[in-house]
């Protein structure tokens, strides 16, 4: 068994790392220049003796060196070393931290080969890592080590220095082709056979042979070479390389009865001696070149290693092949750098054949065969190691992409928002998908859609699916709407772990003494007591600068163990991803085992959790962990905020969320990419998909590409929060707003009758009524004005329905442009896919290229009251705000705790610009009531509750789940939108 140990880099310019049973050893590389007197006594190319009896038939192929063969071939080594050193220097100019490493896997702990390669690596500036396996190691051990090195970001070349019996096909092909610097994998050998080595490597030993032959006067074309005792990948590589250089090649074994004739007929003899003693001089005619590869290969018998090492330490095939091997490592690192850079997309859109009448969404989704997610990832420039597949149609994308493309300019940033919607929604997701399908599949511009993950609450409640609709949707829609990659489940688990920790801590503090609490919180393990890192952080916050648990005074112990959470001031709620109105107020702790520690609390919908808001706003794992630790869960009895860090739960939360932080890659019906990530409610939280998804997409599309991200509900809610909260956090500036409107919604704002989900539309909405449309455009005009408050241009996308008349459509477009929209176009993506949104895509492209003057609505240093008032008056159109006593008390408390400089996230109905859902159009003359104020310190905002806003939706009389079912035979889902 090999010893599993951790690797570390030495702080040396050139180093080799040796791994063996003894552990890890760091060895300095010698950095001497190759000298001309380093040749050994026996050359690897020698002229045949004239005593062979064939001097009168000397061939015209003069393969012998001119004179003093050592310096000639040492100059070949020097040339290769110099080229490699210069190439590595050029690479490091743009990647100064790069330290490419060659990993040598060998059987046993012989150091001779290491010394040769280490010296050569030192001359170039590379590192060498030696992995010594047992001499009788198994194939599985070798493969395990290779697979580990394949994933080691420091290693750019893997050299298998193992006996031939160990170099099975499985072992050779376990090496990633891009790290196979010895050219032993079938793929690299195949590239040699096909004469295409642009992306692969040929054997450096074969390369050394060619280099040696090329440095002689005579041309190679038409000459005969024989390979004696050479087997495996080296044989195939040598044969085809020599043939590609115009030579004729024969192969034979030492036991061949025609061996003497083949050698005597050859101009070049390339042999591997193994246990043979070489060739009789009488077999070699004058002028023949004899190249013995034994000095560069380890024979089957360990007894011959000493001879091999001696040969390789001087001039010959060994040093020359070592130099070429190092050259391959440098080129491997250069190719890796090139792969890390932005790659132009090679997107292959999927074809759409829209039907009329348009089938149901789920029928359309199932009629299209999605591309394998790995193919889509490759098309948009993702590397295989950046993808974590969840089945064949979705995958997580690693955040390492941001580091890889950190110098790549961002693409254009487009926000899709909407007018105040009807309860049926106005199709922002559909417009988002249709727009990116038009940009990518039809205008051939790189584009990414960034959407939120739908909550199970509305999916089974009143809204149904949220994957878009018609011929503009994310596929497969069932996977998009149900579970996806489990992010919401992870949030639910993390949120409820905090809730459990809160109640458990309250119980234990109420029923135990300080000493008992301390002994349990800091237990003795094997006779040793020590604080965990998160406990050390709490001690520091308390001003206790001690690390030995036995050093704390009784007063310090009490301060440490007692959070003293006031049960009446716990602000953290449990969550569930279901609309369950009976959980809006509950009592917990009623069992006898809880010893009378009952209290009232409630459930929120899972997507209203602060952890969901954190996921949407974080920029990485470290930031997410810090935000999770800052979450305030309640107050102590003396008014101090209690955080997740104080509970000691932060690390566990980060573990639960470590996969959820990665955006999920999916695709549209036309095979264009989509990031699905986070799902905060817009009327409760900030209602936008994640900052990380947007940032990843902006790098992937390139400078001329487009990222289209959607804000929840109307522009007064989702767009305002996008600008004031999300853009502050991300530092990103939008280029254009696409404002979605429908004739149906405008008629409602113009005085049309109420619209109810599941009930047929009144006649006003299915027949032409220009007056209702004109009156309702007041809401559209107001939303355009809101966007202009932030200095961002607007393109109005009129999501056309089959009941809309051309006169109504033209009227909306005229009013929109007269109200300040840069463009207003009708869209037919629902019935035609991307082709139906080409006009919108062209308008977005044109407007996004214009300069804008983005600005925030308020300064963070303004008071909490002034920030709320600014939003109420400038965005909603209120005359003023009215704070309840509870809200005012909360503001005073947050100011006292230093939270007053956070942005504001208004929790307000989405059905009206005001707090009154029934008030359509543009309400005026109202006072906005602020019932309560809460703080999401980890997420980084304060959220006022306006009117009767609820954080737990309820199910309607007839929820969507009445129509959802599963076919037990086909396992197909029915009724999901």
In the numeric block, the tokens 């070429």 are attached to: 324
Assess if residue 6 is contained within a domain: no
Contact residues for 600 (Cβ-Cβ < 8 A; gap 6+): 585, 586, 587
SS3 475: strand
Strands 736-741 and 412-418: parallel
The pLDDT value recorded for residue 303 is 36
Assess if residue 626 is contained within a domain: yes
pTM: 0.81
The pLDDT of 790-810, averaged and rounded, is 96
Cis status of the peptide bond prior to 476, with omega within 30 of 0: yes
Residue from 371, 396, 428, 695 carrying the catalytic annotation? 428
Spatial distance between the Cα atoms of 267 and 286, rounded to a whole number of angstroms: 9
Q: Is the predicted pLDDT of residue 297 greater than 80, yes or no?
A: no
Of 30-34, 46-50, 152-156, 314-318, the least confident: 30-34
428 is catalytic: yes
Q: Among residues 849, 873, 902, which one ends one of the domains?
A: 849
SS3 189: helix
Confidence of residue 64 (pLDDT cuts 50, 70, 90): very low
Asked if residue 642 and residue 680 are part of one domain, the reply reads no
Asked if residue 745 and residue 891 are part of one domain, the reply reads no
Contact residues for 4 (Cβ-Cβ < 8 A; gap 6+): none
830 is catalytic: yes
Contact residues for 68 (Cβ-Cβ < 8 A; gap 6+): none
Sheet strands side by side (includes 927-936): 880-883, 927-936, 941-946
Which of the 8 DSSP states describes residue 907? B
Q: Among residues 787, 819, 849, which one ends one of the domains?
A: 849
The pLDDT of 158-178, averaged and rounded, is 90
Tokens of 206: 């074969």
Q: Among residues 599, 625, 657, which one ends one of the domains?
A: 657
CATH number at residue 292: 3.40.50.10860
The pLDDT value recorded for residue 962 is 59
Confidence of residue 958 (pLDDT cuts 50, 70, 90): low
961 is catalytic: no
Confidence of residue 276 (pLDDT cuts 50, 70, 90): low
Confidence of residue 462 (pLDDT cuts 50, 70, 90): low
CATH number at residue 926: 3.10.410.10
Confidence of residue 820 (pLDDT cuts 50, 70, 90): very high
Assess if residue 973 is contained within a domain: no
682 is catalytic: yes
Asked if residue 615 and residue 596 are part of one domain, the reply reads yes
Assess if residue 782 is contained within a domain: yes
How confident is the model over 416-461, as pLDDT tens digits?
A: 999 999 887 789 999 999 999 999 999 999 999 999 998 876 666 5
The pLDDT value recorded for residue 594 is 87
Confidence of residue 662 (pLDDT cuts 50, 70, 90): very high
Assess if residue 975 is contained within a domain: no
Residue from 44, 336, 675, 713 carrying the catalytic annotation? 713
Residue from 166, 460, 830, 899 carrying the catalytic annotation? 830
In terms of Cα–Cα distance, which of 642, 584, 536 is closest to 949?
584
Instruction: Kindly list the distances between the CA atom of residue 530 and the CA atoms of 9, 98, 546, in Å, as whole numbers in the listed order.
Output: 30, 39, 11
The pLDDT value recorded for residue 305 is 32
Asked if residue 664 and residue 652 are part of one domain, the reply reads no
Asked if residue 594 and residue 467 are part of one domain, the reply reads no
Of 248-252, 610-614, 683-687, the least confident: 683-687
Cis status of the peptide bond prior to 357, with omega within 30 of 0: yes
781 is catalytic: no
How confident is the model over 326-358, as pLDDT tens digits?
A: 999 999 999 988 888 888 999 999 999 999 999
Asked if residue 368 and residue 275 are part of one domain, the reply reads no
The pLDDT value recorded for residue 584 is 81
Spatial distance between the Cα atoms of 830 and 846, rounded to a whole number of angstroms: 23
The pLDDT of 780-805, averaged and rounded, is 96
Q: Is the predicted pLDDT of residue 379 greater than 60, yes or no?
A: yes
713 is catalytic: yes
The pLDDT value recorded for residue 61 is 41
Assess if residue 458 is contained within a domain: yes
The pair phi, psi for residue 325, each rounded to 5°, is -60, -45
Asked if residue 921 and residue 906 are part of one domain, the reply reads yes
Asked if residue 440 and residue 508 are part of one domain, the reply reads no
Contact residues for 897 (Cβ-Cβ < 8 A; gap 6+): 641
The pLDDT of 396-424, averaged and rounded, is 93
Q: Is the predicted pLDDT of residue 691 greater than 70, yes or no?
A: yes
The pLDDT of 886-903, averaged and rounded, is 94
CATH number at residue 706: 3.40.50.300
Q: CB–CB of 178/153 below 8 Å?
A: no
Asked if residue 758 and residue 737 are part of one domain, the reply reads yes
Assess if residue 872 is contained within a domain: yes
Which of the 8 DSSP states describes residue 249? E
In terms of Cα–Cα distance, which of 663, 799, 677, 791 is closest to 724?
791
How confident is the model over 99-135, as pLDDT tens digits?
A: 899 999 988 777 777 788 888 899 999 999 999 998 8
The pLDDT value recorded for residue 48 is 31
Asked if residue 740 and residue 600 are part of one domain, the reply reads no
430 is catalytic: yes
Confidence of residue 959 (pLDDT cuts 50, 70, 90): low
Q: What is the DSSP secondary-structure string of 210-241? A: HHHHHTSSS--TT-EEEEES--HHHHHHHHHH
Of 147-151, 289-293, 448-452, 688-692, the least confident: 289-293
Asked if residue 644 and residue 665 are part of one domain, the reply reads no
Domain span at 909: 864-945
Residue from 176, 396, 463, 538 carrying the catalytic annotation? 463
Spatial distance between the Cα atoms of 66 and 687, rounded to a whole number of angstroms: 79
Q: CB–CB of 265/285 below 8 Å?
A: no
Beta bridge partners of 248: 224
Residue from 452, 744, 845, 869 carrying the catalytic annotation? 452
Residue from 103, 682, 693, 816 carrying the catalytic annotation? 682
Q: CB–CB of 436/839 below 8 Å?
A: no
Give the number of domains in the chain: 4
State what percent of residues in the chain have pLDDT above 70. 86
CATH number at residue 572: 3.30.1510.10
| Identity of the highest mean pLDDT range in 72-76, 596-600, 897-901 | 897-901
Q: Which residue has the higher pLDDT, 542 or 49?
A: 542
Residue from 240, 675, 801, 941 carrying the catalytic annotation? 801
774 is catalytic: no
SS3 375: helix
Asked if residue 438 and residue 326 are part of one domain, the reply reads no
Assess if residue 58 is contained within a domain: no
The pLDDT value recorded for residue 459 is 65
Spatial distance between the Cα atoms of 828 and 807, rounded to a whole number of angstroms: 16
The pLDDT value recorded for residue 611 is 96
CB atoms under 10 Å from CB of 544, counted, come to 18
The pLDDT value recorded for residue 20 is 47
Q: CB–CB of 479/394 below 8 Å?
A: yes
The pLDDT value recorded for residue 464 is 52
Mean pLDDT computed over every residue of the chain: 85
The pLDDT value recorded for residue 8 is 29
The pLDDT of 876-881, averaged and rounded, is 97
Confidence of residue 698 (pLDDT cuts 50, 70, 90): very high
Q: CB–CB of 815/808 below 8 Å?
A: no
The pLDDT value recorded for residue 63 is 38
């Amino acid at each position: 068994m090999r010893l599993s140990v951790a690797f570390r880099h030495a702080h040396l310019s050139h180093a080799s790392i040796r791994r063996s049973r003894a552990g890890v050893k760091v060895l300095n590389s010698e950095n001497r220049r190759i000298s001309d007197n380093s040749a050994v006594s026996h050359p690897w190319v020698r002229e045949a003796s004239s005593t062979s009896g064939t001097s009168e038939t000397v061939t015209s192929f003069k393969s012998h060196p001119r004179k003093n063969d050592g310096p000639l071939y040492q100059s070949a080594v020097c040339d290769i070393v110099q080229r490699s050193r210069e190439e590595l220097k050029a690479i490091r100019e743009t990647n100064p931290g790069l330290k490419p490493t060659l990993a040598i896997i060998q059987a046993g702990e012989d150091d001779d080969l290491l010394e040769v390669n280490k010296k050569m690596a030192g001359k170039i500036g590379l590192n060498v890592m030696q992995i010594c396996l047992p001499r009788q190691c198994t194939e599985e051990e070798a493969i395990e080590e290779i697979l580990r090195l394949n994933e080691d970001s420091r290693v750019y070349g893997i050299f298998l220095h193992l006996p031939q019996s160990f170099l099975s096909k499985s072992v050779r092909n376990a090496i990633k082709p891009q790290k196979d610097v010895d050219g032993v994998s079938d793929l690299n050998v195949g590239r040699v056979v096909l004469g295409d080595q642009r992306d692969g490597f040929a054997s450096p030993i074969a390369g050394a042979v060619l280099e040696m032959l090329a440095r002689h006067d005579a041309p190679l074309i038409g000459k005969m070479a024989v390979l004696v005792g050479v087997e495996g990948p080296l044989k195939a590589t040598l044969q085809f390389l020599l043939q590609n250089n115009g030579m004729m090649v024969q192969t034979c074994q030492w036991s061949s009865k025609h061996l003497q004739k083949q050698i005597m007929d050859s101009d070049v003899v390339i042999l591997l001696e193994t246990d043979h003693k070489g060739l009789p001089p009488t077999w070699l005619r004058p002028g023949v070149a004899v190249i013995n590869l034994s000095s560069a290969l380890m024979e089957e018998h360990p007894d011959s290693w000493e001879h091999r090492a001696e040969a390789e330490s001087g001039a010959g095939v060994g040093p020359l092949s070592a130099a070429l091997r190092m050259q391959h490592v440098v080129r491997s690192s250069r190719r890796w750098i090139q792969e890390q850079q932005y790659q132009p997309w090679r997107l292959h859109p999927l074809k759409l054949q829209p039907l009329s009448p348009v089938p149901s969404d789920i029928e359309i989704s199932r009629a299209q065969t999605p591309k394998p997610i790995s193919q889509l990832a490759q098309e948009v420039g993702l590397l295989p190691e950046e993808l974590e597949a969840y089945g064949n149609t979705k995958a997580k994308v690693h955040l390492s992409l941001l580091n890889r493309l950190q110098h790549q300019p961002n693409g254009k940033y487009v926000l899709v928002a909407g007018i105040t919607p009807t309860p049926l929604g106005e199709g922002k997701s559909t417009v988002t998908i249709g727009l990116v399908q038009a940009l990518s599949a039809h205008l051939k511009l790189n584009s990414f859609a960034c959407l939120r993950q739908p909550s199970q609450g509305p999916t089974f409640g009143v809204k149904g699916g949220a994957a878009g609709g018609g011929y503009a949707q994310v596929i497969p829609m069932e996977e998009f709407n149900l579970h996806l990659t489990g992010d919401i489940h992870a949030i639910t688990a993390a949120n409820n772990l905090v809730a459990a920790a809160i109640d458990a801590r309250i119980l234990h503090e109420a029923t135990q003494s300080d000493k008992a609490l301390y002994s349990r919180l800091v237990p003795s393990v094997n006779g040793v007591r020590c604080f965990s890192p998160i406990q050390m952080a709490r001690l520091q916050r308390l001003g206790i600068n001690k690390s030995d648990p036995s050093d704390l005074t009784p007063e310090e112990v009490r301060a440490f163990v007692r959070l003293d959470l006031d049960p009446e001031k716990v602000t953290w709620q449990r969550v569930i991803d279901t609309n369950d109105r009976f959980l809006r107020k509950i009592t917990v702790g009623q069992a006898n085992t809880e010893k009378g520690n009952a209290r009232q609390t409630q459930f929120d919908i899972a997507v209203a959790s602060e952890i969901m808001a954190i996921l949407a706003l974080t920029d990485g794992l470290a930031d997410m962990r810090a935000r999770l630790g800052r979450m305030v869960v309640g107050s102590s009895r003396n008014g101090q905020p209690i955080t997740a860090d104080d509970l000691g739960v932060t690390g566990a939360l980060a573990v639960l969320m470590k996969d959820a932080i990665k955006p999920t890659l999916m695709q549209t019906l036309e095979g264009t990419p989509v990031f699905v990530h986070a799902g905060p409610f817009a009327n409760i939280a900030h209602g936008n998909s994640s900052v990380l998804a947007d940032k990843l997409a902006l790098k992937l599309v390139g400078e001329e590409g487009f990222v289209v991200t959607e804000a929840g509900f109307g522009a007064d809610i989702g767009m305002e929060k996008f600008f004031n909260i999300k853009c502050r956090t991300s530092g990103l500036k939008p280029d254009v707003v696409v404002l979605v409107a429908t004739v149906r919604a405008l008629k409602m704002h113009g005085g049309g009758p109420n619209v109810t989900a599941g009930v047929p539309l009144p006649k006003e909405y299915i027949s032409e009524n220009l007056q209702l449309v004109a009156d309702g455009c007041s809401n559209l005009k107001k939303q355009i004005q809101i966007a202009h408050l932030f200095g961002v241009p607007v393109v109005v996308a009129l999501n056309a329905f089959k009941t809309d008349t051309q006169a109504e459509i033209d009227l909306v477009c005229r009013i929109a442009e007269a109200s300040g929209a840069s463009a207003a176009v009708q869209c037919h993506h629902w019935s035609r896919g991307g082709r139906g949104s080409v006009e919108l895509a062209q308008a977005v492209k044109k407007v996004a290229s214009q300069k804008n003057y983005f600005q925030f609505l308020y300064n963070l240093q303004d008071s909490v009251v002034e920030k709320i008032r600014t939003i109420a008056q400038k965005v909603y159109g209120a005359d003023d705000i009215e704070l309840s006593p509870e809200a005012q008390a909360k503001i005073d408390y947050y100011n006292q705790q230093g939270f007053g400089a956070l942005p504001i996230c208004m929790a307000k109905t989405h059905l009206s610009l005001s707090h009154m859902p029934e008030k359509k159009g543009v309400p005026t003359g109202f006072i906005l009531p602020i019932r309560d104020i809460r703080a999401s310190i980890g997420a980084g905002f304060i959220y006022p509750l306006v009117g009767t806003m609820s954080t737990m939706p309820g199910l309607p009389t007839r929820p969507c789940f009445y129509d959802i079912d599963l076919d037990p035979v086909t396992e197909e889902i029915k009724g999901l939108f």
